[in-house]
Amino acid sequence: MLSLKSYIDKRLAGVYPPRERQALSRILADEVCHVPFHRLLLDDVSSLPEEGRKRLDGVLDRLSGGEPVQYILGETFFHGLRIRVAPGVLIPRPETEELVDWLIRDLPDGELRLMDVGTGSGCIALALAASRTSAKVWGVDVSPDALRIARNNGVELGIPVEWKKTDILDKSQWADLPADLDCIVSNPPYILEKERVTMERNVLEHEPALALFVPDNDPLRFYRAIARFARKHLRNKGWLYFEINERCGKEMQTMLAEEGLGNICLQKDSYGKDRMIKAQQL
């Protein structure tokens, strides 16, 4: 007799560490087996109906090949929202939820004008729009695939966000974007090329490089461009928020100050790493 939990562990051993296998088991119980997690410990694998066993084996085959579970299921949860994801967009991370939590704690109520630059799946823009229903929210991305996914997420969730295709590195396109913004937020590409060697296979082989990597010799290229965009498009006393590479906290503080922004605040994530920063238009 082999429990469902033991069967899943056996199939994923050598690919995922124990803690990650535990997290995957909870997801598979809910989304694939459709049973409470404790049933994985009690039920024999043979108790699954034939169709359910085929579905589970298919997912385990793909997980064993390194494919992220979020892409296999086609969705994930972010800030209480069910967000559709696909290989054309970055999978939302818990650190990004921390960024959104920080921003929402700071934001006043009222008719705000908010923009998410590099929106990907739209998770940040949608979470902000859901939290501040009187706000006007824009989501901006260079990728048509990402914008298609973001737009569909907005429709499915019934959350109004205006989506715009823009390359933020191209200053000639800035004129097409709104001004007098109360807040700009961004989680742009920030992983250095040299960091590839330390990254998990499922990220490298499946998530879009366009949303991940920056050159080793110009790690702040997106941040600098967005800071300069913010100087022209934020209202007086408006705020700019970033998720950042933990290695670049001091460099980010220096760059934002050099670009003329003030009241700079570097924030650590729940793991104690420099992960977020905000600055104000003065």
- The pLDDT tens digits of the residues spanning 49-100 come to 888 889 999 999 999 998 999 999 999 999 999 999 998 899 999 999 999 9
Alpha helices in the chain (DSSP H): 4-12, 18-28, 37-42, 50-64, 69-73, 94-106, 123-131, 144-157, 201-206, 221-233, 249-258
Q: Are 239 and 262 in contact (CB under 8 A)?
A: no
From the list 101, 158, 152, the residue with the least C-alpha distance to 124 is: 101
Structure tokens at 255: 């760059």
- Provide the pLDDT confidence category of residue 14 given band limits of 50, 70 and 90: confident
pLDDT value of position 281: 98
Q: Please, what is the Cα angle at 82 between 78 and 83, to 5 degrees?
A: 75
Q: How far apart, in whole angstroms, are the C-alpha atoms of residue 250 and residue 62?
A: 40
What average pLDDT does the segment 143-172 reach?
97
pLDDT value of position 114: 98
Length of the chain, in residues: 282
What average pLDDT does the segment 13-32 reach?
90
pLDDT value of position 264: 98
Three-state DSSP state, 200 = coil
pLDDT value of position 199: 65
Strands 274-281 and 234-243 come out as antiparallel
pTM: 0.91
Cα–chain-centroid distance for residue 172? Answer: 27
What average pLDDT does the segment 102-114 reach?
95
Q: How far apart, in whole angstroms, are the C-alpha atoms of residue 228 and residue 215?
A: 19
Q: What residue ranges do the domains of the chain occupy?
A: 4-65, 87-281
What average pLDDT does the segment 251-257 reach?
97
Question: What CATH number has the domain spanning 87-281?
Answer: 3.40.50.150
pLDDT value of position 39: 84
Q: In the predicted model, is pLDDT for residue 189 greater than 90? A: no
Bridge partners, residue 240, by sequence = 184, 279
What average pLDDT does the segment 138-154 reach?
97
205 vs 184: which has the higher pLDDT: 184
What average pLDDT does the segment 229-255 reach?
96
From the list 149, 127, 155, 1, the residue with the least C-alpha distance to 74 is: 149
- DSSP per-residue letters across 124-149: HHHHHHHH-TTSEEEEEES-HHHHHH
Question: How many Cα atoms within 13 Å fall on the side-chain side of residue 280?
Answer: 10
pLDDT value of position 204: 64
What average pLDDT does the segment 193-221 reach?
74
Q: In the predicted model, is pLDDT for residue 203 greater than 90? A: no
What average pLDDT does the segment 172-185 reach?
97
pLDDT value of position 226: 98
pLDDT value of position 47: 84
Question: In whole numbers, what is the pLDDT of the chain averaged over residues?
Answer: 92
Q: How far apart, in whole angstroms, are the C-alpha atoms of residue 237 and residue 44?
A: 60
pLDDT value of position 218: 81
Q: What is the pLDDT of residues 23-39, one digit of tens each?
A: 999 999 899 988 888 88
pLDDT value of position 206: 67
Q: How far apart, in whole angstroms, are the C-alpha atoms of residue 7 and residue 12?
A: 9
